[in-house]
């Protein structure tokens, strides 16, 4: 019995060894099947091949001065420095330059550089420098570039006689990141004779920010979902024309500047912020604001601590406050259309404004000589604006007969009210007139539908009762 009991452990060990050999053989067979293609082995991260792009810098280095480098369809890698006059042309949307280094991406170090039809993929994690930088150069043209970035897209300092044409610039970082942590679309510092035309900019800090610059032309650009669409600081001889600003905090921010022309721009839906405004003019001397379409903004035009500002032939439609003046000296307000605004005009301490020949939709006028202007003066009562500043919920009463009646009773300090001594009897802009007619037809349609629905319900009820 002792001999048999002693032999049992050896038998157990032998069984265990045989089981292990069987399991090992099964594992070897499975591995062999995988190696023969029966299954895909797990990918090793140690030998994962990185994406490789064609370096663009050697291509630039081998191109002679004043020559042209044509980028074929493909993926290229930066960064790059351009230190000679050269034209670099790609195929729109298919010639892509990737930037991965955290330092400067594309540096312009020569006059007469032209970059065209290139997509720039800014793959940097936390970039500090702009995608394209240039300093002290002239004759540079950036055209039809597509840049998505987590930094400023284009930064120019001390540049002269250069152009930015038809570029698309957009924020590529986290959408929840606040605007103050984003870069600018275009940043100009101490630059002159710069043309910024037909660019599209979205979700940046400022769309176009110019500081200490002069003789700037901004035309045909579009900026949306940014802080300021077009921001001028210490600028002179600036023309901003035929641009569009939608859904920004402020459309045109003009500060401490002079000799500014703002005309034929479309500025709409600046209302999501407590400081939102279509046009904000602060500490400006000699500005002309004309032929702009200013629709559905918290404040249409704000003029503060400025002088020699002329505002004429603008359409101010459906704004909360159409025109706000604060300590403006010598402002001229002529031939504008004020339609559907909660408050047409508000003033705080301005001196000697010239206000005449504007159209006011709340005017109760009388034209006795047929010249198109009313002999009855239009006066802007401050009562309703003061009321809703204290009780914002009273905005629901805008346009009601009760408010109009109370405004007539609220006549204290009437001599200080803003007045148009020669108000126009007719809208002076075809677009404004068309908009007004569209609103009237829309209201007619709504009331027609409601009336038809009411008649239908009444007929159904009567039939049911029978």
Contacts of 342 (CB under 8 A, 6+ apart): 319, 320, 321, 384, 385, 388, 395, 398
Whole-number pLDDT of residue 331: 96
Closest CA to 189 of 243, 130, 234: 234
Whole-number pLDDT of residue 384: 55
Which of the four pLDDT bands, split at 50, 70 and 90, describes residue 50? very low
Whole-number pLDDT of residue 43: 47
Percentage of residues of the chain with pLDDT beyond 90:
64
Give the helix/strand (H/E) hosting 451: helix 430-465
Q: Which domains, ranges and CATH numbers included, belong to the chain?
A: 59-420 (2.160.20.10)
Which of the four pLDDT bands, split at 50, 70 and 90, describes residue 44? very low
Closest CA to 300 of 333, 260, 267, 339: 267
Whole-number pLDDT of residue 197: 98
User: Which of 27-36, 132-141, 177-186 is least confident?
Assistant: 27-36
Q: DSSP string covering 208-257, please?
A: EEEES-EEEEEES-EEESSSEEEEEES-EEEEEES-EEESSSEEEEEES-
Residue 40 has pLDDT above 60, yes or no: no
Secondary structure of 50-62 in HEC code, one letter for each residue: CCCCEECHHHHHC
Cα–Cα distance between 37 and 49 in angstroms, integer?
21
Whole-number pLDDT of residue 394: 57
Cα–Cα distance between 280 and 252 in angstroms, integer?
6
Residue 140 has pLDDT above 70, yes or no: yes
Whole-number pLDDT of residue 41: 46
User: Which of 171-180, 337-346, 424-433 is least confident?
Assistant: 424-433
Kindly report the backbone phi and psi dihedral angles of residue 139, in degrees, each rounded to the nearest multiple of 5, phi listed first: 70, 25
pLDDT digits (tens, 9 = 90+) for 289-327: 999 999 999 999 999 999 999 999 999 999 999 999 999
Contact 108, 119 (CB under 8 A): no
Whole-number pLDDT of residue 256: 97
Residue 254 has pLDDT above 60, yes or no: yes
Which of the four pLDDT bands, split at 50, 70 and 90, describes residue 342? confident
Cis status, amide bond into 79, omega within 30 of 0:
yes
User: Which of 40-44, 76-80, 113-117, 266-270 is least confident?
Assistant: 40-44
Q: DSSP string covering 121-140, please?
A: EE--SS--S-SEEEES-BS-
Higher pLDDT, 379 or 141: 141
Q: DSSP string covering 95-118, please?
A: EEEEE--SS--EEE-SSSEEEES-
Q: Find the length of the chain.
A: 466
Whole-number pLDDT of residue 27: 56
Whole-number pLDDT of residue 324: 93
Contact 262, 288 (CB under 8 A): yes
Q: Is 49 helix (H, G, I), strand (E, B) or coil?
A: coil
Whole-number pLDDT of residue 39: 43
pLDDT digits (tens, 9 = 90+) for 235-250: 999 999 999 999 999 9
pLDDT digits (tens, 9 = 90+) for 398-423: 555 555 555 565 555 555 578 999 99
Cα–Cα distance between 271 and 17 in angstroms, integer?
80
Whole-number pLDDT of residue 347: 84
pLDDT digits (tens, 9 = 90+) for 407-464: 565 555 555 578 999 999 999 875 544 444 444 444 445 445 555 655 666 566 556 5
Kindly report the backbone phi and psi dihedral angles of residue 213, in degrees, each rounded to the nearest multiple of 5, phi listed first: -125, 160
In this structure, how many other beta carbons lie within 10 angstroms of the beta carbon of residue 197? 18
**pLDDT, the chain, mean:** 84
Q: Residues 425-450, buried b or exposed e (16+ Cβ, 10 A)?
A: eebbbeebbebbeeeeeeeeeeeeee
Whole-number pLDDT of residue 177: 83
Cα–Cα distance between 245 and 251 in angstroms, integer?
5
Cα–Cα distance between 171 and 179 in angstroms, integer?
10
């Amino acid at each position: 019995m002792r001999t048999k009991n002693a032999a049992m452990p050896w038998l157990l060990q032998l069984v265990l060894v045989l089981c292990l050999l069987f399991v090992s053989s099964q594992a070897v067979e499975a591995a062999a099947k995988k190696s023969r293609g029966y299954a895909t082995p797990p990918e090793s991260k140690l030998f994962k091949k990185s994406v490789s792009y064609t370096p663009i810098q050697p291509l630039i280095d081998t191109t002679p001065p004043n020559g042209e480098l044509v980028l074929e369809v493909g993926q290229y890698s930066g960064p790059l420095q351009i230190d000679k006059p050269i034209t670099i042309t790609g195929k729109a949307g298919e010639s892509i330059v990737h930037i991965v280094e955290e330092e400067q991406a594309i540096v312009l170090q020569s006059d007469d550089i032209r970059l065209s039809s290139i997509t720039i993929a800014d793959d940097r994690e936390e970039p500090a420098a702009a995608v394209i930088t240039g300093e002290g150069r002239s004759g540079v043209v950036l055209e039809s570039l597509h840049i998505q970035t987590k930094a400023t897209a284009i930064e120019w300092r001390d540049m002269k006689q250069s152009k930015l044409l038809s570029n698309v610039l957009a924020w590529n970082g986290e959408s929840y990141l606040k605007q103050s942590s984003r870069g600018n679309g275009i940043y100009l510092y101490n630059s002159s004779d710069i043309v910024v035309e037909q660019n599209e900019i979205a979700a940046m800090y400022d769309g176009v920010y110019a500081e200490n610059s002069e003789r700037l032309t901004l035309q045909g650009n579009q900026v949306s979902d940014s802080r300021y669409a077009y921001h001028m600081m210490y600028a002179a001889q600036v023309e901003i024309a035929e641009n569009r600003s939608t859904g920004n905090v402020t459309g045109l921010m003009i500060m401490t500047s002079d000799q500014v022309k703002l005309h034929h721009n479309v500025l709409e839906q600046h209302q999501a912020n407590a400081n939102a405004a279509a046009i904000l003019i602060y500490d400006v001397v000699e500005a002309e604001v004309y032929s702009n379409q200013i629709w559905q903004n918290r404040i249409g035009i704000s003029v503060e601590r400025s002088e020699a500002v002329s505002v004429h032939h603008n359409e101010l439609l459906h704004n909360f406050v159409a025109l706000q003046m604060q300590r403006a000296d010598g402002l001229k307000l002529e031939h504008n259309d004020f339609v559907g605004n909660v408050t047409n005009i508000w003033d705080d301490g301005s001196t000697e404004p010239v206000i005449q020949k504007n159209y006011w939709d709340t005017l109760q006028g009388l034209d006795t000589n047929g010249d198109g202007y009313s002999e009855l003066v239009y006066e802007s009562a401050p009562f309703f604006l003061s009321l809703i500043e204290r009780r914002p919920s009273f905005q629901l009463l805008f346009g009601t007969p009760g408010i109009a009646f109370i405004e007539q009773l609220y006549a204290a300090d009437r001599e200080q009210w803003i007045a148009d001594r020669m108000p126009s009897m007719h809208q002076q802009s075809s677009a404004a007139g068309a908009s007004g007619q569209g609103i009237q037809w829309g209201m007619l349609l709504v009331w027609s539908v409601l009336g038809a629905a009411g008649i239908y319900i009444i007929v159904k009820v009567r039939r049911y009762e029978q």
